[in-house]
Structure 1
Amino acid sequence: MANRRTGRSPEGRVRTAPSSENRRPVKNTQKNGQRKRTANSEIPGKGKSGKTMNQAGKAKNKAGKRTDKSAQNQALRDQKLKGQTRKTQARKGRGASSAARTSGKRPRKKGGFLSWPMPLKIASIVGGVLVLAITAVIGVAAWKMSQIKTVDLDTDALNISEQATETQTGYLNVALFGLDGRDTDPEMGARSDTIIIASLNRETGEVKMSSIYRDTLLQQKDGTYNKANAAYSFGGAEDAIAMLNKNLDMDIEKYVTVDFAALVDVIDAVGGVEIDVTEEEIPYLNNYAVEVIKNTGVDSAPVTQPGKQLLNGVQATGYARIRYTKGDDFKRAERQRAVIEQIVKKLQASNLRTINKVIDKVFSKVETNFTMTEILAYAKNAMNYKLAESQGFPKDNTTPTLTGIGSSVVPNTLESNVIALHKYFFGDDGYTPSSTVKSISSEIESKAASLDSGSSGSSDYDDSYYDNYYDNSYDNSYDNSYDNSYDDDSDYDSSYDNSYDSSYDSSYDDEDY
């Protein structure tokens, strides 16, 4: 074959150009503006037979390409179908082989909890335990809260003025009532023996308490005048709260009522409270203690010596009820606040076991209009509340014996005492008494003057609520047949000295309860 670049044949001969007669004729045609070249049929490979061979080759090549492309497309389709099948089986959990499925055995799932990494397994288990624990705690808390007697009050009947609502924003004011319910005499104890207003500053967490002397002359719901503790006996907590709001310009919606029997349980549950008992108070303390024992069934030994000492529930309750000493009802209210303050301190320092014991013993003896949600919300911050120094109301007063009412505490004047009360609770907030308080203040002055029987400042209260029940000639011998076993329940330490002698153990370890 000749070299294309040199025109030489392999033998070295020079290839000459064909003559004119041997040249192939070329036919040029144009169609639609395009030039078309038609080859002579006599040229090898370009003739009719050559063209047919060339077209056959092209057709074969095309067929081959189509076959290759069809095979590639089929492979892609098969691969895609296989991937979709895997996904479908994964979703349905059918990862087992067909042999396993046809054998009737349940295929073992791939993945799941067993395939998780160990940290994730531990976190999952711990999380599940926490959920169960929280659910259990909520259930127990709900059950315990259900033991409290809840009462709905008509807020429209509570005599809350718009002025009080506006000026006392940021404070939670609660009325605390202590009832002297007696199983031995159901008709006695209808009046609220203890009336305390507690005000919580929501911002600072400070709690202030003021006793309202139970013999304070105030206007009742029906417009008449009587002692403050009469309101509860007339219309329960609703009338008592309405009386406080109306006479003192207060915004009180919430209340808590407990019986003195609950006070005994609380004090015993926290392990007693430390009280400084005077010589003068001992016989009266023991006298009231005897009556507490009769109504609660909780036994106790008497107090035999003065001084600071740890009192159990019966003893401390008897102490809180003393009013036949110097100071009369004023001192009595002070004793009650002292006992409450000691209880709060003990509770704030107590462990969960002790608090749970208090809840179990006391909640069934509590009445309130706090909801469970509200109780839990305030309870979570209870350990951080700060108890401020307490006081009594009215600070400026006289104690005349009024005809038809008895020994009373008359404010001088109600208006000035209410101003002092607001300053104590809320500071210098620019408070001025309402027209209602000013009107009541004037009426109290005239009422006290018209009913005054002439005696004033007497400690011999004319109150059948107590005087018809107790004999002032207290027998100091203290009946020797009294049962000193102090066996009220199994919670008490068995090491407690049941024989009781003058060396009463004042340690009263609360951890042994």
Structure 2
Amino acid sequence: MAKKKYKNSRRYKKMRRRKIIFGIEIAVLLILSGVLFVYAWINRSMDKMNQDTLDSDQIQINSEVKANTELSKMTGTQVVALVGVDARGVKGSELAESMNSDTIILCCIDHDKQEIRMVSIMRDTWMNMAKYTDEYYDFDKANSAYNRGGPESMLSMLNTNLDLALTDYVTVNFKALADAIDVLGGLDIEMTNAEMCHANNYNKEVSEAQGVPYESLPYDPEIDDSYTSTQHVSGALAVSYARIRYGGGDDAKRTSRQRIVINLMMQKIKQNPTKIPEILDKVMENVSTSLSKNEILQIGMHAVTYTMGTSYAYPFQLCYGENVENALGVDVVIPVTLEHNVRELHEYLYPDLSYTPSAAVTEYSDYIARKSGYDEDMIDYVLNQGPGADADSVIAGD
């Protein structure tokens, strides 16, 4: 009876309130300590990042694009160039000497729709590189631009050939991508029997670049190459899969594999956002970017919360092969036509904006058509892999 009376007393209630408040304060302190610890960890990891101050005077943008105030007002859409360079080891090593950008992806972050869309630039796309020569036309494969003059050259190529105004990029090498996938616990990828064979071959090089033991997938030469099965793969094998150019589809299929890997990574990051600090800590020394720490973190938050939309390979309407090689003297991919493709690209990146290609793009387009023989009349007779077509698009889902 006395115990019940004491619990109803003012003194007991006051002491109980103090305990509750004290408990709340401890919980808040623990949460704040955790947040500060994670922030310090992320901040330390970001310090490993190679932050590049770009020379803006060296980044070319077509004059009509510069003057287009509509694009500059479209603050709801942000496009960043994601680049995978063919640099396979630590700086200064033999593996790190090649710097072709074999992966170029336009990452379109649509803040209004809270959606991320991607366009892969096929590495063999014929683009004008005249910025670094005395000639007005100096067409070459898109993947050579980074090696010619670093990110400024690569951004200039994209801007002048596609009527863009890109000023930001993120570059990673093989090791960074493979390490990030390993932190996530690997990926489940549906592969054909032939893809497993090719991935095994590529992994001899990729595993060496990552500094991990070689492992192989269960390729069976006795079964049909088109037989598919889902394989749980490590980072090295996932990167090896993304590098495959054989088995049909050529570079268009290769870019599709790259986007499959990125989409699967995004799904796992959404499921395990607590892995983000560890990923940053693991990969940042193999990342080079023009973005600030805050911008990287904001993009990371968008990646976790935004929907992954469709993705395609550019050019959308294209031609390659013997006819193109005979006409141009080089084995490349050409847009049919450049003007048509640039218009469709802008409609995809900026759905609410009608677009007329610049005089520079129209001139390049006429040059490509004249040299190759593939003009507007040939659009309906070439490979169509753009939005709305029966194409190799990839949808990641939520």
Name the SS for the 1:380 alignment partner.
helix
1:402–1:408 CA contact under 8 A, matched in 2? no
C-alpha spacing 1:322/1:298, structure 2 compared with 1 (3 Å):
same
Name the aligned partner's letter for residue 430 of structure 1: S
In the alignment, does 2:100 pair up with 1:195? no
Match in the other structure for 1:387: 308
1:150–1:368 CA contact under 8 A, matched in 2? yes
Match in the other structure for 1:418: 342
Find the aligned partners of 1:340 and 1:164 in 2 and give their Cα distance.
32
Q: In the TM superposition, what whole-angstrom CA distance separates every residue of 1:398-455 from its partner, at most 9, and x where no partner exists? A: 11226897310011110001111111111152111111111111122334469xxxxx
Match in the other structure for 1:253: 167
Match in the other structure for 1:210: 119
C-alpha spacing 1:312/1:131, structure 2 compared with 1 (3 Å):
closer
C-alpha spacing 1:164/1:290, structure 2 compared with 1 (3 Å):
farther
C-alpha spacing 1:296/1:133, structure 2 compared with 1 (3 Å):
closer
Match in the other structure for 1:339: 261
C-alpha spacing 1:386/1:131, structure 2 compared with 1 (3 Å):
closer
C-alpha spacing 1:136/1:219, structure 2 compared with 1 (3 Å):
same
C-alpha spacing 1:238/1:206, structure 2 compared with 1 (3 Å):
same
Find the aligned partners of 1:148 and 1:405 in 2 and give their Cα distance.
41
Find the aligned partners of 2:189 and 2:68 in 1 and give their Cα distance.
37
Match in the other structure for 2:66: 162
Find the aligned partners of 1:214 and 1:405 in 2 and give their Cα distance.
17
Match in the other structure for 2:184: 270
Name the aligned partner's letter for residue 99 of structure 2: A
Find the aligned partners of 2:110 and 2:54 in 1 and give their Cα distance.
23
> Matches of residues 412-451 of structure 1 in structure 2 within 5 Å?
412-448=336-372
Name the aligned partner's letter for residue 445 of structure 1: A
Greater share of residues in helix: 2
Count residues with an aligned counterpart.
335
Name the aligned partner's letter for residue 169 of structure 2: Y
Match in the other structure for 2:392: none
Q: In the TM superposition, what whole-angstrom CA distance separates every residue of 1:239-285 from its partner, at most 9, and x where no partner exists? A: 10111011111122211100011111111111111211112222211
In the alignment, does 2:331 pair up with 1:407? yes
1:212–1:393 CA contact under 8 A, matched in 2? yes
Which of 262, 274, 291 is equivalent to 1:370? 291
Give the Å deviation of 1:323: 0.5
Name structure 1 gaps, 5 residues minimum. 1-116, 451-456, 458-513
In the alignment, does 2:249 pair up with 1:327? yes
Find the aligned partners of 1:128 and 1:297 in 2 and give their Cα distance.
41
Find the aligned partners of 1:185 and 1:324 in 2 and give their Cα distance.
26
Find the aligned partners of 1:313 and 1:129 in 2 and give their Cα distance.
34
Match in the other structure for 1:316: 238
Which of 356, 363, 367 is equivalent to 2:277? 356
C-alpha spacing 1:290/1:126, structure 2 compared with 1 (3 Å):
closer
Find the aligned partners of 1:313 and 1:304 in 2 and give their Cα distance.
17
Match in the other structure for 1:145: 46
Give the Å deviation of 1:395: 1.6
In the alignment, does 2:208 pair up with 1:294? yes
Name the aligned partner's letter for residue 177 of structure 1: V
1:299–1:314 CA contact under 8 A, matched in 2? no
2:51–2:290 CA contact under 8 A, matched in 1? yes
Name structure 2 gaps, 5 residues minimum. 1-17, 220-227, 375-381, 383-398
1:171–1:199 CA contact under 8 A, matched in 2? yes
Find the aligned partners of 2:68 and 2:175 in 1 and give their Cα distance.
34
Give the Å deviation of 1:208: 0.6
C-alpha spacing 1:237/1:393, structure 2 compared with 1 (3 Å):
same
Q: Which has the larger radius of gyration?
A: 1
2:42–2:280 CA contact under 8 A, matched in 1? no
Find the aligned partners of 1:137 and 1:277 in 2 and give their Cα distance.
37
2:328–2:371 CA contact under 8 A, matched in 1? no
C-alpha spacing 1:302/1:125, structure 2 compared with 1 (3 Å):
closer
Give the Å deviation of 1:332: 0.7
Find the aligned partners of 1:433 and 1:176 in 2 and give their Cα distance.
24
- What fraction of aligned residue pairs are identical, expressed as a percent? 35
Aligned Cα root-mean-square deviation (Å): 2.7
Name the SS for the 2:291 alignment partner.
coil
Find the aligned partners of 2:103 and 2:158 in 1 and give their Cα distance.
13
Match in the other structure for 1:461: none
C-alpha spacing 1:414/1:132, structure 2 compared with 1 (3 Å):
same
Give the Å deviation of 1:189: 2.8
C-alpha spacing 1:120/1:341, structure 2 compared with 1 (3 Å):
closer
Q: In the TM superposition, what whole-angstrom CA distance separates every residue of 1:368-398 from its partner, at most 9, and x where no partner exists? A: 1111122223333432111111101102111
1:170–1:201 CA contact under 8 A, matched in 2? yes
- TM-score when scaled to structure 1? 0.60
Find the aligned partners of 1:175 and 1:413 in 2 and give their Cα distance.
23
Q: In the TM superposition, what whole-angstrom CA distance separates every residue of 1:80-133 from its partner, at most 9, and x where no partner exists? A: xxxxxxxxxxxxxxxxxxxxxxxxxxxxxxxxxxxxx77776676666666655
Give the Å deviation of 1:143: 1.2
Name the aligned partner's letter for residue 172 of structure 1: Q
> Matches of residues 443-462 of structure 1 in structure 2 within 5 Å?
443-448=367-372
1:218–1:444 CA contact under 8 A, matched in 2? no
